[in-house]
């Protein structure tokens, strides 16, 4: 190998190192962009979790404060009719109960 070949080979290695350096710089820029995006998404996720927690707390407070609907007048009237010996189920409504308790009526009352 003479001096000219060595000089050419060193030049080629220098070009390859320059290309590798450019690729490394581009890769570094992509990493920086990904890190920034990751940070942005982490902040957004944190904010969304805070909003979700707030909404869950509001829902829990609302549901705990809501009174269970009281049994209405209609239900009381049906219970009174049943206790007087009449069917209140959709199968025998209004008929006199002669054989004791009716499972249909009881299931209707217990709803």
- 86 DSSP β-pair partners: 96
Q: Tens of pLDDT along 73-93?
A: 888 888 888 898 898 888 888
Q: Tens of pLDDT along 20-57?
A: 999 999 999 999 999 999 999 999 999 999 999 999 99
- 95 labelled ligand-binding: no
Any residues with CB less than 8 A from the CB of 105 and at least 6 apart, and which?
82, 87, 88, 89, 97
Report phi then psi at 72, rounded to 5.
Answer: -80, 175
Any residues with CB less than 8 A from the CB of 28 and at least 6 apart, and which?
none
Say what the pTM is: 0.47
Q: Which two tokens stand for residue 60?
A: 């829990």
Domain regions of the chain by residue span? 1-66, 69-111
Cβ 82 vs Cβ 105: under 8 Å: yes
């Amino acid at each position: 190998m003479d001096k000219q070949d060595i000089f050419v080979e060193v030049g080629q290695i220098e070009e390859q190192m320059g290309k590798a350096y450019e690729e490394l710089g581009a890769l570094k820029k992509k990493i920086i962009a990904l890190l920034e995006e990751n940070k942005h998404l982490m902040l957004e996720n944190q904010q969304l979790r805070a909003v979700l927690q707030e909404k869950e707390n509001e829902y829990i407070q609302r549901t705990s404060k809501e009174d269970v609907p009281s049994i209405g007048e209609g239900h009381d009237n049906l219970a009174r009719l049943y206790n007087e010996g009449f069917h209140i189920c959709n199968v025998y409504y209004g008929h006199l109960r002669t054989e004791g308790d009716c499972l249909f009526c009881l299931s209707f009352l217990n709803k």
